[in-house]
Amino acid sequence: MNMEYYRIVRSHPGSLCSRFGLVTLLLMLLGVLASCSSTSAAAPPVSSTATLPRPDHVVIVIEENHSYSDIIGSSNAPYINALAKAGASFTHSFAVAHPSEPNYLALFSGSTQGTVSDSCPHTFAGPDLGGALIGAGDTFAGYSETMPGAGYTGCTAGNYARKHNPWSNFTDIPAADNLPFTSFPANYSTLPTVSIVVPNLQGDMHDGSIQQGDTWLQQHIDAYQKWAQSHNSLLIVTWDEDDYSQSNQIPTIFVGPMVKSGQYSETINHYNVLRTLEDMYKLPYAHNSANVSPIADSWQ
């Protein structure tokens, strides 16, 4: 409409002035100028650079075979829901495959390594999270509940299953870093830079109940979680996959003093979690983690 007024001004200035008055005409012209100014102004750039914290220690606990809606809001998981409330809870977190083993490999190495089952044994070369940490001068260890001993390479032993222990498959991880959960230190300041903890088939909800898994986590990890709050350290709790009921949507929770509590709705998967850890410690990207973004909005 303002451009039409401008056309009329040029072709019939006298009639327009007599019809609308000089003041009205000036206001119209000012409106034209304001409109042009507003449409030509450039929007400020949005920075894509993410500044991530560098925790002194990260402990990742991997649970089993339950969907987001199974856990979040469940009365059978009061401790986990307390963690979700205290920390960052990701409402659109997904596994990358079925069954279990490809997801553990994805989280640890950025690739399912071509696996489509829970077969055992396997041998893979890096890159992977543990090897990258060691190569950078940091430290890594994996702790598996009821694994018979350090460096164990058997496929099963009671409630222990190697399919849930991805680091045991990689040639760049020393046997001394493949540990039973009995080696998890009581002095948390001696923990490696990054640790992965895998409860056994009862404690991780695979064979045991949600309530069993929730109780296991509180009994074995809560002391670390409380210590972490005053020691620049982070707890991550996630699941390998869902139970085929919710499009592989799983809970993922970050808790620590550097975490900004709340619910976060961006879509993430195991590769995003791995990429976040790699960026925290300035590590090279392993396979598919190079193609995704780190989780950047949940930090203080």
pLDDT digits over 235-245, tens only? 999 999 999 99
What per-residue confidence (pLDDT) applies to 195?
Answer: 98
Closest CA to 237 of 96, 76, 111, 63: 63
18 vs 95, more confident: 95
Phi first, then psi, for residue 194 (nearest 5°) are -130, 130
Domain over 57-291 is classified CATH 1.10.10.350 = no
What value does the mean pLDDT take over residues 163-187? 98
Q: Which two tokens stand for residue 228?
A: 């972490």
pLDDT band at 177 (very low <50, low <70, confident <90, very high): very high
CA distance 189 to 170: 26
What per-residue confidence (pLDDT) applies to 131?
Answer: 98
What per-residue confidence (pLDDT) applies to 250?
Answer: 98
Kindly list the domain boundaries of the chain, sorted by start residue. 2-36, 57-291
165-197: string of b/e by CB count within 10 Å (b at 16+)? bbbbbbebbeeebbbbbeebeeebeebbbbbbb
Show the 3-state SS of the chain: CHHHHHHHHHHCHHHHHHHHCHHHHHHHHHHHHHHHHHHHCCCCCCCCCCCCCCCCEEEEEEECCCCHHHHCCCCCCHHHHHHHHHCEEECCEECCCCCHHHHHHHHHHCCCCCCCCCCCCCCECCCCHHHHHHHCCCCEEEEECCCCCCCCCCCEECCEEHHHCHHHHECCCCHHHEEEHHHCCCCHHHCCCEEEEECCCCCCCCCCCHHHHHHHHHHHHHHHHHHHCCCCEEEEEEECCCCCCCCCEECEEEECCCECCEEECCCEEHHHHHHHHHHHCCCCCCHHHHHCCCCCCCEC
What per-residue confidence (pLDDT) applies to 49?
Answer: 52
pLDDT band at 24 (very low <50, low <70, confident <90, very high): very low
Are residues 293 and 139 in contact, defined by beta-carbon separation less than 8 angstroms? Answer: no
Answer yes or no: is pLDDT of 18 > 50: no
What per-residue confidence (pLDDT) applies to 8?
Answer: 37
290 vs 17, more confident: 290
Answer yes or no: is pLDDT of 97 > 60: yes
